[in-house]
Amino acid sequence: MATTTATITLASADIADNSFSVSNTSTLYTAGTNTGITETTGLGRKKVASASNVVLLGATTAEGIAQDVTPDKSAKVYIKNMNLRGDGTKFVTVLLLTREIGRLYGGDWMFFPWNATDGKDIEITPYDATETTLEYTIFYE
Amino acid sequence: MATTTATLTLSSADLLSDNLSLSASMNLYKGGTTDTGLEQMNYHRLVLPTGTVFDLIAESDALKDNSNYVYIINKNTDVTDYVLIDINDNEIGRLYAGDWLFMPWSCDLSASATDSSIEAEAVGHETIIEYALFHVGETLPTAGD
């Protein structure tokens, strides 16, 4: 087995009257075990120059980089909008099929578990047709 | 404004044929701004009983149409315990013991939208959850009794 860790640190010196800092490290295990996840898509990069909806990671589709992700198990997804923030008005909307999760502005990232059941694609909708570059990876079983 | 940073490090010495090391850092800004930081935060620790889907972070007028960022961690230690994280019954994924997530969240109150609250359900055993919501700010709308 492999040992892969994901560490997050949230820190602010001025969001409250005292400094705030939280840090946690998660080891990426297969579902319900202490066995490390051994599969990954590796780090990928995709450019989109359209304001239309795009499937970034298709769930259990016959083709595509996420086809081997087992539903109802343990999978983790990382996505980062590599664009510069600019004036802060442009973002990529991240959806679970048609359900909007949130907006990644330039420079923003997200890391979340994914149940890749049939049809629950991870999709993106850029704010406009300006070229947007995303990086992503999946750790899965 | 406040300055809050979120930093991620992914690392492994043996998942691939060479070391994996990825780091990403971001400041939590208000939507539509160049560099104005989010000014408010809610931080909670609670116990989720099993068998019920709860609104962990409920949509509200104060949170709509701007930048919100959510952090959730499952603090249980039994590896079989997990929490389902949903939005309106759309399961995003499962947080097993020790797992965390960090993601943006759109609080959508438009007439055409269904409930955008973030829901959680403990499976296996009751689960201790900690979560943080970083948001643009809320003002209490109603006077007390």
Three-state SS string over A3-50 comes to CEEEEEEEEECCCCCCCEEEEEEEECECCCCCCECCEECCCEEEEECC
Mean pLDDT of A1-5: 93
More confidently predicted of A6 and A60: A6
Strands, sheet with A54-57, edge to edge from the N-terminal-most edge strand: A54-57, A122-126, A91-96, A99-105
Interchain CB contact of B90 with A (< 8 Å): yes
Domain B37-135 has CATH 2.60.120.10: yes
Specify if A4 maps to a domain. no
List CB contacts (< 8 A) between A2 and chain B.
12, 14-15
Query: What is the domain partition of chain B in residue ranges?
Result: 37-135
Q: Which residues pair with B11 in a beta bridge?
A: A5, B21
Q: Can you give the pLDDT at residue A132?
A: 95
| % of chain A beyond a pLDDT of 90 | 80
Alpha carbon distance A31, B3 (integer Å)? 36
Q: Is the pLDDT of residue A63 over 80?
A: no
Q: Can you give the pLDDT at residue A89?
A: 87
Alpha carbon distance B42, B139 (integer Å)? 13
Helix locations, A51-137, DSSP H? none
Specify if A103 maps to a domain. yes
Specify if A98 maps to a domain. yes
Q: Can you give the pLDDT at residue B110?
A: 80
Q: Can you give the pLDDT at residue A61?
A: 65
Specify if A33 maps to a domain. no
Q: Which of residues 19-58 of A touch B (CB under 8 A)?
A: 20, 22, 24, 26-27, 29, 31-34, 36-38, 40, 42-43
Specify if A52 maps to a domain. yes
Mean pLDDT of A23-46: 96
Complex-level ipTM: 0.96
Q: Is A60:A69 a contact under the CB 8 Å cutoff?
A: yes
Mean pLDDT of A58-76: 81
Q: Can you give the pLDDT at residue B120?
A: 97
Å between B11 CA and nearest CA of chain A: 5
Which two three-digit tokens encode residue A71?
Answer: 């539903």
Q: Can you give the pLDDT at residue A60?
A: 65
Specify if A123 maps to a domain. yes
Specify if A78 maps to a domain. yes
Alpha carbon distance B34, A129 (integer Å)? 20
pLDDT-flagged residues of chain B (< 70)? 65
- Domain of A133, CATH number, reads 2.60.120.10
Tell me the residue range of the domain where A136 lies: 39-140
Q: Is the pLDDT of residue A62 over 70?
A: no
Q: Can you give the pLDDT at residue A98?
A: 85
Phi, psi (deg, nearest 5) at residue B62: -70, -15
User: Looking at the partner chain, which of A12, A16, A137 has a beta carbon nearest the beta carbon of B3?
Assistant: A12
Q: How large is the C-alpha radius of gyration of chain B?
A: 17
pLDDT tens digits, A68-121: 888 889 999 999 999 999 998 899 999 998 899 999 999 999 999 999 987 789
Total of domains in chain A: 1
Could you tell me the pTM of the whole model? 0.96
Mean pLDDT taken over chain A: 93
